[in-house]
């Protein structure tokens, strides 16, 4: 498989496949494909997998695309302004925000993961329920806004807005902590909680979480009550 990412803020992912290669994607992600590519829709993981994906707010089905000829092409589009990040899934699994999975080779498994820390569970919002990519293959992830990649050393920690956590290696630990200081909480504009990511491992941060963008746009919508 060869891939090419076309565009910047609303990118398109174009894949060129060998005969017999299979790509799976979230429902609605495909934008165009050669007529010789065969598409099938399935409940990956059976009823359990269907329910997990519905719980994450996604379609319960995945689409599978098989190349019947060498050189068959298929393209997938980003659903909001941001970037498509190619990642190699191997021994180290990857944890990413729910709804960020775009597509992957067939040997990558997408599972739901609940953050185990009590603080994360009660206060994590978007960070509580996430996706975990396991297996061995190539995956493509949607990141909101720009993408910042950081490599954390063992014991090294950073504090970030919860929505800014795009993806991280499973060796990284994540927890939600309350902001200290009364004035910080009232006037800091960062909310009540921040996410702490502790290494070792790589993290991918996103600069404009879709929920933040929606909040900014909401102020400009017409007031229907008037």
Is residue 15 over pLDDT 80?
Answer: yes
Q: Strand pairing of 157-160 and 193-198?
A: antiparallel
Is residue 60 over pLDDT 70?
Answer: no
| pLDDT confidence of residue 81 | 87
Rg of the chain, C-alpha, whole Å: 19
pTM over cut 0.85: no
Domain 2-219 classification at class level: alpha beta
| pLDDT confidence of residue 45 | 56
Band of residue 59 on the pLDDT scale cut at 50, 70, 90 = low
Is residue 23 over pLDDT 50?
Answer: yes
| pLDDT confidence of residue 196 | 92
Across the range 143-148, mean pLDDT stands at 93
Band of residue 225 on the pLDDT scale cut at 50, 70, 90 = low
Across the range 23-35, mean pLDDT stands at 95
| pLDDT confidence of residue 222 | 75
How many Cα atoms are found within 13 Å in the side-chain-facing hemisphere of 197?
Answer: 28
Dist CA 130 CA 217 (whole Å) = 25
Dist CA 43 CA 28 (whole Å) = 15
Mean pLDDT check: name the lowest of 98-102, 124-128, 187-191, 205-209: 187-191
Dist CA 56 CA 22 (whole Å) = 24
| pLDDT confidence of residue 91 | 84
| pLDDT confidence of residue 3 | 98
Across the range 81-91, mean pLDDT stands at 93
| pLDDT confidence of residue 162 | 82
């Amino acid at each position: 498989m060869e891939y090419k990412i076309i565009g910047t803020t609303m990118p398109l992912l174009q894949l060129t496949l060998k005969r017999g290669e299979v790509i799976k994607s979230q429902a609605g992600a495909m934008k165009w494909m050669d007529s010789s590519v065969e598409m099938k829709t399935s409940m990956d993981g059976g009823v359990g997998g269907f329910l997990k994906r519905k719980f994450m707010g996604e379609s319960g089905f995945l689409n599978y695309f098989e190349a019947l000829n060498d050189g068959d092409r298929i393209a997938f589009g980003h659903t909001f302004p941001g970037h498509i990040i190619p990642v190699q899934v191997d021994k180290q699994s990857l944890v990413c925000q729910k709804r960020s999975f775009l597509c992957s080779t067939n040997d990558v498994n997408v599972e739901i993961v609940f953050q185990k820390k009590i603080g994360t569970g009660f206060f994590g919002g978007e960070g509580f329920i996430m996706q975990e990519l396991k297996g061995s293959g190539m995956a493509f992830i949607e990141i909101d806004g720009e993408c910042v990649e950081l490599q954390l050393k063992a014991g090294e920690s950073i504090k970030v807005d919860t929505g800014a956590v795009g993806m991280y290696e499973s060796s990284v630990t994540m927890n939600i902590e309350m902001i200290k200081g009364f004035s910080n909480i009232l006037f800091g504009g960062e909310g009540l909680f921040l996410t702490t990511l502790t290494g070792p491992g790589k993290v991918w941060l996103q600069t404009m979480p879709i929920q933040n963008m929606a909040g900014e746009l909401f102020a400009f919508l017409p007031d229907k009550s008037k």
